[in-house]
Structure 1
Amino acid sequence: MNNPVASLKVRLGRYGIWSAGLRSEDPDRRSELDESAAELEELGFGALWLGGNSSAANAAPLIRATKSITVGTSIQSIWQHEPADAAAAFAELEASHPGRFLLGLGVSHAKFADQYRRPYAALVGHLDALDAAGVPAERRVLAALGPKNLELARDRAAGSIPYLVTPEHTAYAREILGEAPLLAPELKVVLERDPARARSVARGYLAMYLSLPNYTNNFLRHGFTESDLAGGGSDRLIDAVYAWGDENRVRERIAAFHAAGADHVALQLVDESPRDTLPREAWRRLADLLA
């Protein structure tokens, strides 16, 4: 297959795992992390997406611990990683494990970056520097939500990895991207059948994100109201950005993203455990229901 983005879509497959825990730098957890990555590959997931402000250094051990699965950053903040350093790390990993690493980039949030100014212009400049340093456009993806960044993802990257979105946003993003670029939204999954308990777990996890204007403004652009954002999120909002319930309901919710235009869905298991937990039993359950 000569088209590199089309080849990337094949390698990623339909499902991946998004995890903040997999990016841990705790040396005492190294064995657990490596075993988890290897098991996820065996379970048939096509990609591991490292949550938080992750980098090639976080991806490298997981790539060494597996055979062929793609490992991507979701996301590497442009404010906290200089383009020259990112390019050098990309080149080193590409030399040792060709084609295994995907550089996911984004502007993060003003709350997390004191230098946050003119984020679109800063992202364009960062991409210019990566071009000059030799990082191929087809080996990077952007965490794009709004139209201008989605156009950048179309024109200067392999595509988009939007976080905390709905099937409606996925359809909107696909329209801007066109057919060829990769569209790989993240989707949170709560493996809980009871509606009250599932939504309670979901709200507890969502609370932090509802303090970040990049996400809340995106919700408001796509039909939600201020009342949907209050109190940890309305039932309507929770049900839009989570897959929860029995196996059929979870499958149907994931399928809605594919039907809206997603090539690949990055699935994040959410429960009441700490955010850096590796939910290995839940990952096995998820693999079974997707089989």
Structure 2
Amino acid sequence: MSEDTGAHHRNPWRRRLGRYGIWSVGLRSQDPALRGELGEATAELEELGYGAVWLGGSSAVTHAVPLVRATSRMVVATGIQSIWEHGAQETAARLGELEKDHPDRFLLGLGVSHAALTTAYARPYSAMVAYLDALDAAGVPAERRVLAALGPKMLKLSHDRAAGSHPYLVTPEHTAMAREILGEGPLLAPETKVILDENPDTARATARQGLARYLALPNYTTALARFGFTEEDFRDGGSDRLVDALFAWGDDDRVRERIDAYLSAGADHVALQVIDEGPRDTLPRTAWRRLAGLLR
């Protein structure tokens, strides 16, 4: 297990984030029809007891600003901001402005994205190190950022150069591995997907609709293969075994048990992405309310 050294591993984020947050693409939507609802929805999430919202997809500091303004204590985080899309100097300036007006309310989640999603993709680990160097030079403390780390090298970098890690599309077994590498101090806040459907056939069908896009990205399949999943598991939107490992679906007790498996494996906080039959960029507010009730 990594030795925890440095002040940034005192980890104040455990208290600020709480045990559960919401991960949502919709909350960073630029759709004019949704824009007026974003602050209201985030304020409701705060009242429901969620400790954080994670702005899914390729989000940025600017997406967080209206949500921070609409709430009083909830942490707003990027989950994640691509290092290829927003330069370190620009990010440092935006973060500084937000921190000045709303201290300790924003957490910068950074990631290297995927080769299929950007023509800039090259030597991702070295690029992340250079980006963190630039943030350091601009005065952004390590405590203000977490990394979307899947493999051991990026997890180690999350320990050494950030407040911790926000892994996406991972199992509780990955969480246990990540905690071993990070050590006890750094924040570990994995994302997991929730389907509030007790029917195995329809729940898994909904899961596959959302999962298929990720199974075309080698960063994810390589990480999953470390835990015994094979090419057969990655076909046709994912095997039952893979779906059941990555999604919390079923009745309330089963959903709660699956979510809490991440906490038992070493997570400090779980970022919950509600999946239903609708588009990813909607706001499933009824489901968020139900989920909050079963997590109490």
Instruction: State the TM bucket, normalised to the shorter chain.
Output: over 0.9
Q: Which residue of 2 aligns with 1:200?
A: 205
RMSD, matched Cα: 1.0
Question: Which whole-Å CA distance do the structure 1 matches of 2:10 and 2:119 have between them?
Answer: 34
1:252 corresponds to 2:257: yes
1:42-61 to structure 2, matched below 5 A, reads: 42-61=47-66
**Normalising by structure 1, what TM-score?**
0.98
Distance 1:115 1:250 in 2: 39
1-side partners of 2:84 and 2:47: how far apart?
A: 35
The aligned residue for residue 174 of structure 1 is: 179
Q: Which runs of 5+ in 1 are unaligned?
A: none
Counterpart position of 1:101? 106
Report the residue type matching 2:128 in the other structure: L
* Amino acid corresponding to residue 67 of structure 1 in structure 2: S
1:155-170 matches, within 5 Å, as 155-170=160-175
Q: Secondary structure at the match of 1:283?
A: helix
Which residue of 87, 90, 93 corresponds with 2:95? 90
Note the C-alpha offset of 1:3: 6.7
Residue 152 of structure 1 corresponds to 157
Q: Judge conservation of contact 2:110–2:147 (CA < 8 Å) in 1.
A: yes
Q: Following the alignment from structure 2 to structure 1, what is the Cα–Cα distance between the partners of residues 10 and 85? A: 27
Select the residue among 207, 213, 217 that pairs with 1:212: 217
Trace 1:70-85 onto structure 2 (pairs within 5 A): 70-85=75-90
- Give a deviation string over 1:185-230, Cα, whole Å, max 9, x none: 0000000000011000000110100010000111111211111111
Distance in 1, matches of 2:8 and 2:214, equals 36
Residue of 28, 36, 43 corresponding to 1:31: 36
Q: Alpha-carbon deviations, 1:243-272, whole Å to 9, x = none?
A: 000000001001111000000000000001
Q: Aligned AA for 1:239? A: D
The superposition leaves residues 127-170 of structure 1 with CA deviations (integer Å, 9 ceiling, x where unpaired) of: 00000001110110000000000000001000000000000000
1:21 counterpart = 2:26 = yes
Amino acid at match of 1:113: T
Provide structure 2 residue ranges, at least 5 long, that are not aligned to the other structure.
Answer: 1-6
Contact 2:165 2:188 in 1 (8 A): yes
The whole-number CA distance in structure 1 between the counterparts of 2:70 and 2:251 is 33
Structure 2 equivalent of residue 289 of structure 1: 294
Contact 1:5–1:138 (8 Å) recurs in 2: no
CA distance in 1, matches of 2:279, 2:136: 38
| Cα deviation code 1:76-132 (max 9, x no counterpart) | 000111100000000010011011010000000001110111000000000000000
User: C-alpha separation between the residues in 1 aligned to 2:135 and 2:278?
Assistant: 37
Tell me the CA shift for residue 58 of structure 1. Answer: 0.1
Matched, 1:128 2:133: yes
Aligned to 1:231: 236
Q: Which amino acid aligns with 2:166?
A: I
- Give the letter aligned to residue 159 of structure 1: G
Identity, % of aligned positions: 66
The CA distance in 2 between the partners of 1:252 and 1:282, in whole Å, is 17
2:143 to 138, 142, 146: 138
Structure 2 residue identity aligned to 1:59: A
TM-score by length of 2: 0.96
Q: Is the 8 A contact 1:207 1:232 kept in 2?
A: yes
Structure 1 stretches (4+) deviating beyond 4 angstroms? 2-5
Paired amino acid for 1:219 = L
Q: Distance in 2 between matches of 1:6 and 1:122?
A: 25
| Cα distance between partner residues in 2 of 1:177 and 1:48 | 23
Deviation at 1:31, TM superposition (A): 2.2
